[in-house]
Amino acid sequence: MWRTIAALRWATTHEAMETITVREIRPEDVAAADAVLVGAFGPPGSYAAELRRYVALDPHGWLLAELDGRAVGTAGALCYGPFAHIGLVAVRPDAQRRGVGAALMERLLAGLEARGCASAVLDATEAGAGLYARFGFVEVERTVRYVRQEGGAERPPASRAVTPLLPADLPELAASHPPIFGPARTAVLASYLRDAAGRAFLTRDERGEIAGYLIAQPAAIGPWAARSAEDAEALLGAALASGFGGGVKAIVPGANRAALHHRRLGRKGQGATWGVSQT
């Protein structure tokens, strides 16, 4: 059972009586939270735009940890009804091993439990696996992270007709989405579409129904889902043809055999998807 926290702000102490406080991220906290993320994950680039998107989608789902008033950690989740996806869990290197990550996870999971999310998933590195295991997470599958430097790989040929994904397509996509992903995430896709003019694509099957979609972010491919390898490949080709200012990354399930074909994106690294269910 996830532990419930009655207080709005959760605190613990370190041996030097340092106080860890966890609270919701406010719009004015984005710069401080971004500094935490850059410090923990390193370059390239800022996470501010991604964080602003998530806070706008769920103002109560994103947390900032402070150590004696200094921003040192972040974590958050988007709740899709029966399950939530956790992301941006980070602690500044100079504040690690002081209970910051545990304080964030404690508060985050308590909030998800209160909202009725029966399970949660996250993508973990080996460094974070121990923390997540303490909170009942188990490895579900391995993930593969591909990184392609601009000009470093060929563009796959299109095997399906690809058309733009438009806001008007979202109701239809929501109806066809469960077989691909699960619960519809229309609000999330609408948010990405607002920032991805000309860089969102879909394919249709012989019946005219949506068979796959992809949104190309400035430095990442996804959200990306398709019913067949051919549709996924055609969408990938359209995304790469749209151009990227620098490198681009994509994260795919390791169990997806068709994803092995996407090595054309470039070199790959390993990670894992971990999940936990409320008991």
Confidence of residue 70 (pLDDT cuts 50, 70, 90): very high
Higher pLDDT, 183 or 230: 230
pLDDT at 263: 53
Helices (H) and strands (E) in the chain, counts: 7, 13
- Is the pLDDT at 242 greater than 60, yes or no? yes
Element (H, E) at 206: none
Residue 94 three-state SS: helix
Return the residue matching tokens 């290197």. 93
Instruction: Encode pLDDT of 135-148 as tens digits.
Output: 999 888 888 778 77
Instruction: Encode pLDDT of 128-175 as tens digits.
Output: 888 999 999 988 888 877 877 765 445 555 567 999 999 999 988 888
Query: Distance from CA of residue 253 to its chain's centroid?
Result: 13
- Is the pLDDT at 231 greater than 80, yes or no? yes
pLDDT at 40: 92
Look up the pTM and report it.
Answer: 0.80
pLDDT at 82: 81
Q: Which is nearest to 119 in space by CA: 65, 152, 80, 146?
A: 80
pLDDT at 83: 85
Instruction: Encode pLDDT of 95-107 as tens digits.
Output: 999 999 999 999 9
- Is the pLDDT at 8 greater than 50, yes or no? no
CA–CA gap between residue 87 and residue 71 (Å, rounded):
17
The domains of the chain, with CATH numbers, are: 10-136 (3.40.630.30), 146-271 (3.40.630.90)
Q: Which amino acid is at 57?
A: L
pLDDT at 252: 77
CA–CA gap between residue 28 and residue 207 (Å, rounded):
48
Question: DSSP H helical segments within 220-262, as ranges?
Answer: 229-241
pLDDT at 159: 63
- Is the pLDDT at 57 greater than 70, yes or no? yes
pLDDT at 274: 58
Q: Which is nearest to 52 in space by CA: 166, 261, 195?
A: 195
Query: Distance from CA of residue 236 to its chain's centroid?
Result: 19
Q: What is the dihedral of CA 139, 141, 147, 153, to 10 degrees?
A: 170
DSSP state of 154: P
Written as six digits, the tokens of 106 are 């404690």
Give me the chain's average pLDDT, please.
81
Sheet of 200-204: strand order equals 162-164, 200-204, 210-216, 221-226
Bridge partner residues of 226 (DSSP): 212
User: Which residues lie closer than 8 Å to 7 by C-beta, 6 or more apart?
Assistant: none
Residue 250 three-state SS: strand
For the chain, how many residues are written? 279
- Is the pLDDT at 12 greater than 50, yes or no? no
